[in-house]
Amino acid sequence: MSMSFLTNLNRVETLLNSSNTLSAPNKRWHTAFVTIYCSRALVSHFNLKKNKPKISHSSSFTVLDLDGPPQNHNHSFAIDQATLSDIVKEKNLHNLQKHGGVDGVASALESNIESGINGDDEGVAIARRKQVFGSNTYKKPPSKNFLHFIVEAFKDVTILILLVCAALSLGFGIKEHGAKEGWYDGGSIFLAVFIVIALSSVSNFRQSRQFDKLSQVSSDIQIDVVRNERREKISIFEIVVGDVVCLKIGDQVPADGVFIDGHSLRVDESSMTGESDHVEIDGNHPFLLSGTKIADGYGKMLVTSVGMNTTWGQMMSSISRDVDEQTPLQERLNKLTSSIGKVGLAVAFLVLVVLLVRYFTGNTEDENGVREYNGGGRKSSFDDIMNAVVRIVSDAVTIVVVAIPEGLPLAVTLTLAYSMKKMMADQAMVRKLSACETMGSATTICTDKTGTLTLNQMKVTKFWLGLEPIEEGGFTTVAPFVLQLIQEGVALNTTGGVHKSKSGSEFEFSGSPTEKAILSWAVFELNMEMEYLVKSCSVIHVETFNSKKKRSGVLLRRNNANNNNTVDAHWKGAAEMVLKMCSRYHDASGIVKDLDNESRLKFEQIIQAMAASSLRCIAFAHSEVAEEEIRDEEGVTRVKENGLTLLGLVGIKDPCRPGVKEAVEACQHAGVNVKMITGDNVFTAKAIATECGILHPNQDTDGAIVEGEEFRNYTHEERLEKVEKICVMARSSPFDKLLMVQYLKQKGHVVAVTGDGTNDAPALKEADIGLSMGIQGTEVAKESSDIVILDDNFATVVTVLRWGRCVYNNIQKFIQFQLTVNAAALVINFVAAVSAGEVPLTAVQLLWVNLIMDTLGALALATEKPTKELMEKSPVGRTKPLITNIMWRNLAAQALYQIVILLTLQFKGESIFGVTSGVNDTLIFNTFVLCQVFNEFNARKMEEKNVFKGILRSKLFLGIVGFTIILQVVMVEFLKKFADTERLNWGQWGLCIGLAAVSWPIGWLVKLIPVPDEPFLNIFRIRKKK
């Protein structure tokens, strides 16, 4: 067999193997290409046999050279996906080294560990990688369809009871009145159930879709990558194999990859392995798994697998988000619904017994005044008895139907879905549905300072060298070697970066706001050349910054140093903490002076003065260390922490957010305490808290301001005693924040906490409502929270509080409205049944009233927007009952009026108004419905006398009321046979409207009656105990 044929066979094998990495559409093109290539290879082989002497190297042959580097964008790279996956998943260091280590893998992926993916046309390069290795997305399990929510709705016990009642009513109706007219009652119950199920299913289906959208938004994390030698932020979904990703504490690892370089990098792999211990990542263990979290340190990684080629992607593709969670309010309402249903069943059973006794004792008469049951004389036929019993059972079933408030769960679903959508528009993304309602009960908000109360737009405004301030542009007087030390301390002890813009004339800064402020100051004021400094020094060891130490350190060696036996230690961090580590300081001329007690006191006063001006004070310190001293007794490399020389102090200004003072005052006016928990020192914290309105200018701050360590050292009893008085906690650690949340909850507070750091996760989980920051928040913090504040603004926290109260208030409005109707309908039917032996409101009529309450009423009252008045009430708190004394007062007055007026019409209506029995029954039905329409206005304002306030802004409410009235006219005037009504004249309509309208003045008058704060039920319990 000829060599050319063997070569072609090898190339065919290469082509066939490469198809494993292609998507389905590209596989079809690939198959076609292989077929054509094989055909040409065979033809070429036989042509070569015929014309062997005439072989020449044509250009077409060299273009199709599969052995060389891939020239065609559709071809694979020098390393395939299977190999890359095996390296990371199996954590095989030998396999990695076999491919030339990280450098070799990067080279095979046509990337660079320093400059990332390079190329003139970045878009084409990225598209090619997506085509070969796939995109960083995973297949999601199919969303639950509409049919699923319909089936779930049918599982509801209330719905099942109603369906049984509908079936019984339908059967009894057809038995008594025949198929033509007997289906009305049962059919109407079925219709009502169908409408409730349809609305509930539509609402839950839309809510599910909304959660899917929110899930996509929350998954779209911004990642720092290096491309074309530039550091930039891109979406996690845009990460491709070969990207160089920059990682820092709190980040989520966006894809599988290998460690390039970094310091003190530790990873929390508990989400993948279940192991709680953090894994150290270095050259001996360089493997990073997608979905894990950076617990400490910082570094860079080379992406080797994305999307479905990662273990995380495969795991996430099989997980669907459960949106069927029951919120605490829904659970309470389900209990309320169950309790009301039991009362309804008891009343229905009582009515059934009374009516049966009345019938069989001969106390009921038909329309002609003839006794229906005659046991002594003319025997009643079996059919007559059965029809009478069926009618009685049907009346009892009707009472059960009207008693069950199936609209309560629907109202909760509607108001939660509506508020969640509106909150998203107000920059608050709800991750946990129960947080919507819980926020309305919040009594205390523990907030961060940086970025929440302040703008997080930091700028260095003060610099002290020794005991002298250096004004802007005054650095020419500073000794050159001191400037160099400061520049080294800034450039090499940072997690940020400086990059020239594409035009080359402007600088771009990356990192945290504090890092960017210091880097910007060093570049523009000190003329720092970051790239030169990074290349001229080698970093030996890094102590990364965290919220507990509040400082970071670095050991470095100058590459051009004459004496290689010494290294430089640099520290940067909270000024008073770094000052404690220093024993000397540099003055502007470079002279080193001892830091005695007098000069130390002066430095402390400088720091306090800057802090009192709302400046964050950062100190720089330096020391030379002998090579043999960089390791401790255990052989661990450490950055020297004492005997340092203070280089200088910088003051960083972070102005308060516009409107934050008004937002804090709004909370305080609403009875919600705002506490500031910050890592800054006491003086900075006090200045910012006063500026934001958390502290008042003349306020006694004794006990109102504490440091985290002080609070930590309190006894259990002292914490309980003092926790409520604390307004500001300075120099706090995440543990202090957690401790404060726990003790506030022990005191009965409903606590909301804001957090952005990885270490805030325990406090966010412990709090009743965890609020993470969307911009500065780490992924760990976001996953631990209930709501993400997308703009990091405290004013948005207040908006969430307002919406939370609105949700709770809307549910209470609907409960008051529904219970009024339930109470009135039950009492009217029970009294009429017991006294007259018949119910005035038929099944169809009661179901129509039910429909107004459950669907249209829920829609009208559940979608009311927040009002200013909501923020004038004290918070509901943890223990207050769902039905308040004010609600009991309102619903009792309205129900009593409806009972009196309708029973008067029932027993005296015919004689008073001179109408027939049919017209009188229609008057009762029409007045009852219109009473609910008018009472809907009363329900809008439970405490305010003016129920029409803001009515014109509630267009949906007015539309629903108008629609209800139109449907009622249709029921009375046009559906006479179905609804068992008679047409009414204008005078009779006026009478019904007049009687119903009386509920407005009654509502106004009853609000003049004061009610005790102590819940009525508690008062009864106390008296019972006595």
* Active-site annotation, residues: 448
Amino acid found at 562: N
Q: Is 37 helix (H, G, I), strand (E, B) or coil?
A: helix
Element of type H or E holding 551: strand 551-558
| Contact by Cβ (8 Å): 550, 709 | no
Long-range Cβ contact pairs of 375-379 (< 8 A, separation 24 or more)? none
Q: Distance between CA atoms of 981 and 834, rounded to whole angstroms?
A: 23
Sole residue written with tokens 């009960």: 441
Spatial CA neighbour of 486 closest among 509, 507, 463, 469: 463
Q: Is 215 helix (H, G, I), strand (E, B) or coil?
A: helix
C-alpha angle 619-624-626 in degrees, rounded to nearest 5: 145
Sole residue written with tokens 């470095």: 556
CB neighbours (10 Å) of residue 315? 14
Q: Distance between CA atoms of 995 and 988, rounded to whole angstroms?
A: 11
Q: Which class for 313: exposed (0-12), middle (13-18), buried (19 or more C-beta within 10 A)?
A: buried
Amino acid found at 720: L
The DSSP string of 986-1005 is HHHHHHHHHHHHTHHHHHHH
Q: How many residues does the chain have?
A: 1026
The DSSP string of 398-457 is HHHHHHS-THHHHHHHHHHHHHHHHHHHTTEEESSTHHHHHGGG--EEEE-STTTTB---
CB neighbours (10 Å) of residue 190? 19
Q: Give just the sign of the alpha carbon dihedral 797, 803, 809, 815.
A: negative
Q: Distance between CA atoms of 971 and 973, rounded to whole angstroms?
A: 6
Spatial CA neighbour of 962 closest among 999, 984, 942, 936: 936
Q: Distance between CA atoms of 88 and 79, rounded to whole angstroms?
A: 14
CB neighbours (10 Å) of residue 130? 18
| Contact by Cβ (8 Å): 416, 764 | no
Q: Distance between CA atoms of 740 and 744, rounded to whole angstroms?
A: 6
Q: Distance between CA atoms of 370 and 365, rounded to whole angstroms?
A: 5
CB neighbours (10 Å) of residue 646? 28
φ/ψ of 450, rounded to 5, equals -65, 125
Q: Distance between CA atoms of 717 and 706, rounded to whole angstroms?
A: 16
Spatial CA neighbour of 484 closest among 642, 622, 592: 622
| Radius of gyration from C-alpha coordinates of the chain | 38
Residue 385's DSSP bridge partners are none
φ/ψ of 563, rounded to 5, equals -110, 105
Q: Is 1026 helix (H, G, I), strand (E, B) or coil?
A: coil
Sole residue written with tokens 């009593």: 896
Q: Where are the alpha helices (DSSP H) in 914-984?
A: 917-940, 955-973, 976-979
| Contact by Cβ (8 Å): 744, 673 | no
Give me 114's structure tokens: 């320093």
| Contact by Cβ (8 Å): 917, 806 | no
